[in-house]
């Protein structure tokens, strides 16, 4: 495990060389995982949501249908350009380039925070920062949804280690609603107390 989070250059290089580097728009696996991600939220509509690590907006497009307002963050300018091209600029959807959690929106009152395939890119220190931000900015009764690959990677964390670190850091402020293990990924839904 690395003590340093992956930086914007890493992701900009990936998106500059391939417009769908993880096959998010084309793979049956990703489509099924996104189906399960949206289904995990049930029928609830969210007044305000944030998606950390929106990549080129495939999941963002589906998530936005559940949200009155959605802030979609990514560290990569290349990824955000592709997301804007995919979704345009509908009312209520905002794209922002930020190196979350070192940079984060100051707005309070999110009813949903989605971290899909992103926490394992962060150092232990940044996982701590993310937990602090989530604790301060997700409303009581709001949801935190994490979806992460559980196979081997060369990232700073494994999916399991990243989620466990966040869970331990947030243990006094969240209650577990769902914890699912699938063949290649895990899905964790927490409610802010």
pLDDT in tens, the chain (193 residues): 557 998 888 877 777 777 666 677 789 999 999 999 999 999 999 999 999 999 989 999 999 999 999 999 999 998 899 999 999 999 999 999 999 999 999 877 999 999 999 999 999 999 999 999 999 999 999 999 999 999 999 999 999 999 999 999 999 999 999 999 999 999 999 999 9
Q: Is residue 2 part of a domain?
A: no
Q: Is residue 55 part of a domain?
A: yes
CATH number at 17 reads: 3.40.50.150
Instruction: Kindly state the tokens that stand for 37.
Output: 């991600």
43 DSSP assignment? T
pTM: 0.92
What's the number of domains the chain is made of? 1
Rg (CA), the chain: 15
Is 114 in contact with 50 (CB distance < 8 Å)? Answer: yes
Burial of 127-138, coded b for 16+ CB within 10 Å and e otherwise, reads bebbbebbeebb
Q: Is residue 187 part of a domain?
A: yes
């Amino acid at each position: 495990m690395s003590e340093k989070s992956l930086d914007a250059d890493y992701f900009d290089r990936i998106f500059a060389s391939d417009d769908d580097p993880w096959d998010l728009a084309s793979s049956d696996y990703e489509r099924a995982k996104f189906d399960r991600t949206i289904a995990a939220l049930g029928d609830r509509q969210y007044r305000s949501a944030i998606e950390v690590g929106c990549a080129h907006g495939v999941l963002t497009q589906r998530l936005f249908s559940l949200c009155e307002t959605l802030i979609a963050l990514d560290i990569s300018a290349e990824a955000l350009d592709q997301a804007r091209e995919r979704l345009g600029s509908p009312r209520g959807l905002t794209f922002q380039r930020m190196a979350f959690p070192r940079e984060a929106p100051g707005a309070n009152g999110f009813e949903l925070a989605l971290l899909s395939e992103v926490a394992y890119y962060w150092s232990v220190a940044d996982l701590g920062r993310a937990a602090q931000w989530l604790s301060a900015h997700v409303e009581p009764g709001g949801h935190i949804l994490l979806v992460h690959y559980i196979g081997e990677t060369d990232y700073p964390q494994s999916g399991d280690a990243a989620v466990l670190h966040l869970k331990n850091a947030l243990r006094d402020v969240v209650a577990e609603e769902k914890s699912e293990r699938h063949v290649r990924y895990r899905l964790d839904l927490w409610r802010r107390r």
